[in-house]
Amino acid sequence: MMTEQFLKNAFLFRQPILNRQQELAGYQLSFLSNDALAADGNSPGASAPLCAAYSELGMRSALGNACAFIGIDAGFLHQEAIELLPPEGVVLELLLDGVPDKTTLRRCQDLRARGYSLALTDYRGIDDRSRLLLPMVEVIKIDLHGAGEGQLGDLAGSLRHLPIKLLAQHVDSREQMERCRSLGFDLFQGRYFAQAEIVSGRRLSASQAALIRLINLVGRDVDTALIEDAFKHEPALTLNLLRVVNAVGHRGNRFAQPVTSLRHAITLLGRRQLQRWLSLLMLAPGSATADPARSPLLQVAALRGRMMELLVEVGQPRDQKLADLAFLTGILSMMPIALGLPIDEILEQIAVEREVRSALCRHDGLLGKLLALLDRFDGDDAAGCDQLLSALPGHFDRHTLNRCLSVALRWLNGGSE
């Protein structure tokens, strides 16, 4: 019952965690609410419902190869229910104040023996608390908001020769990430990768311009021969398209023989999927397959697109065209960051439906409200999410948002939903 209450009355927020190659390594999961029922997921008392929700929402399969970093307070640490979490899918963050007693240390040793990875949060140097826990943890989290420039180097230096991964928490900019990487940090938590300088009038690269031409052709009711001819002028894109269609065919057993014809590939993939794929490539023109697992920006864009689509199905369950436009809106919302251009200048070059333009430029209409909701959701803004949920038509609540996140993550990692 408590888990059900948390799912209905709290938001399951996530903070991306990237590795040194700037690829997604995991998510920090937390429950946040603006009322008294649900506490911060990293606060005492929230661990048990968060872990139960992790299982109930199917987050293990939803996260794929990415780990879930879950805060475990002192009370929940000793409960057997913690062992329902899969050792290979989570990192248990120890939210422990003060010097751990012998019972706590034995419990940590037992969890390690069972295959769990442990992380120590709020590290502020070697003291009586950390000295006892350092031999048992694999990850040390250092909060950049609490550590000054000079102190950061000292903290990292004191751990440099230990077989421990350093995680920089609250990384707000790429400059901070680079500074931490130079100090030996292995993991970086925050949305700094989604921060970019927007410059009006910036010129697009040749590959980006070619993609825009193709997106415009696919989005219009033109003959397939025109699309085929445009692809022939872009041999790298043609090869990538054939690879993608062949890969989809082998996974789904849809095609008896590998696809070798460009026209055949365009027809089999379909214009709806082709437009989605090309739009994702706009966020990473050098990617051969636009695989979201390799790029956190692609991950956010694809996840936004799928969540927008799912949320439209809640509000307008029989409007497939609007659902398609919702997916495209979610992807396009990340293009200013990827291209460094204002959205209005991007839309001067890409032909989109009126509903999509209104949503992206002014947050108007249902698509605009859903996009604003996902902006708040990505920003861990519980109060803002509540305000927008109450203004949406239909049956939208916190549980709806949590469930859509889980389903979208599962889809993103190759699931069937």
Q: What share of the chain is helix, strand, coil (3-state, %, to 5)?
A: 55, 10, 35
* CA atoms of 66 and 109, how far apart (whole Å): 24
For residues 288 and 243, is the Cβ–Cβ distance under 8 A? yes
* CA atoms of 354 and 368, how far apart (whole Å): 11
Question: Residue 69 carries which side chain, given as an amino acid letter?
Answer: F
Cα separation values, 64 from 67, 355, 388, 410, Å: 8, 33, 30, 7
Coil vs helix vs strand at 39: coil
- Average of pLDDT values for 11-30? 92
CA-nearest of 236, 237, 256 to 246 is 256
Q: Which tens digits make up the pLDDT trace of 388-401?
A: 999 998 789 998 99
- Provide the CA 356 distance to its chain's centre, in angstroms: 22
Q: Which tens digits make up the pLDDT trace of 320-378?
A: 999 999 999 999 999 999 889 999 999 999 989 999 999 999 999 999 999 999 999 99
Confidence check: pLDDT of 55 > 90: no
For residues 412 and 19, is the Cβ–Cβ distance under 8 A? no
Q: What is the pLDDT of residue 287?
A: 53
Q: Which tens digits make up the pLDDT trace of 220-259?
A: 878 999 999 999 998 888 888 888 887 765 455 554 567 7
* CA atoms of 109 and 191, how far apart (whole Å): 33
Is the Cα dihedral 81, 85, 86, 87 positive or negative?
negative
Rg (CA), the chain: 23
Q: Which residue has the tokens 């949320």?
A: 311
Least confident of 137-151, 264-278, 288-302, 305-319: 288-302
Which one is predicted more confidently, 51 or 159?
159
Banded model confidence at residue 219, pLDDT cuts 50, 70, 90: confident
Which one is predicted more confidently, 77 or 53?
77
Cα separation values, 62 from 78, 86, 177, 219, 409, Å: 27, 13, 27, 31, 5
Which one is predicted more confidently, 123 or 65?
123
What is the DSSP code (8-state) at residue 311?
A: H
For residues 184 and 201, is the Cβ–Cβ distance under 8 A? no
Rounded to two decimals, the pTM is 0.86
What are the beta bridge partners of residue 117? 91
Q: What is the pLDDT of residue 255?
A: 47
What are the beta bridge partners of residue 91? 69, 117
What are the beta bridge partners of residue 248? none
Q: What is the pLDDT of residue 310?
A: 96
What is the DSSP code (8-state) at residue 202?
A: P
End-to-end CA distance of the chain: 26
* CA atoms of 28 and 26, how far apart (whole Å): 7
For residues 33 and 381, is the Cβ–Cβ distance under 8 A? no
Q: Percentage of the chain with pLDDT > 90?
A: 51
- Average of pLDDT values for 38-56? 64
For residues 67 and 91, is the Cβ–Cβ distance under 8 A? yes
* CA atoms of 358 and 366, how far apart (whole Å): 10
Confidence check: pLDDT of 176 > 70: yes
Q: What is the pLDDT of residue 302?
A: 92
Banded model confidence at residue 44, pLDDT cuts 50, 70, 90: very low
Least confident of 9-13, 71-75, 96-100: 9-13
Residues 6+ apart with CB under 8 A from 125: 154, 155, 158
